[in-house]
Amino acid sequence: MRILKCLPLLLLSTSLQAETVTLQVESAEKRTSPDTTRDVIDITLDPESRQTLADFTRDRVGQQIHLSVEGYLLTSPFLQSVIDTGSLRLSAGEEGFDGKTAGEIAETLNKGGALTLSDDH
C-alpha cells in the first residue's frame, strides 16, 4: 500500500525533468521581415531533426521552450501548436539575439552550428 501512495510522486518527478534536444540545420538565412522591418532567421532542418522537433513539441503545446545556438539564447516562445514542418522563423528582439545579429547566427548555423531546444532554462 505504501508503494502505491508514492507512485503519484514518482510519476510527477519524472515528468518534471528538463529535456534538451539538438537539431541539425540544413540552411539558415537572414532576412528582413516586411511586417516589422526587423531581422529574422529562416531555418530549415534536416529530415531527422524535423522529426525530433515534432516529437519534442508534441507534448509541450502551451509551454515555454528555449532555443539557443552555441550558448546564445535566441528566443523563449510559448508553443501554440506542434511544429512538424521542419522550418522555423526566428524574430530578433530589439537588441538582436542575445547580443548577436541575425546574420551572425545564420552564419554560425550554416557552418554546422546546431540549434538547441530545451524545456528548462
Over the chain (121 residues), the average pLDDT of each successive run of 10 is 45 62 96 88 96 94 93 90 93 78 94 92 53
Residue extents of the structural domains in the chain: 18-118
Q: Which residues, in sequence order, are bridge partners of residue 91?
A: 40
The confidence score (pLDDT) of residue 113 equals: 87
User: Does residue 101 sit in helix, strand or coil?
Assistant: coil
Length, in residues, of the chain: 121
Q: What is the pLDDT of residue 66?
A: 93
CATH architecture for residues 18-118: 2-Layer Sandwich (3.30)
pLDDT computed for residue 1 by the predictor = 46
pTM: 0.79
Strand-pair category, 115-118 with 20-23: antiparallel
The pLDDT of residue 3 is: 47
Q: By three-state DSSP, how is residue 104 classified?
A: helix
DSSP-derived 3-state class of residue 77:
coil
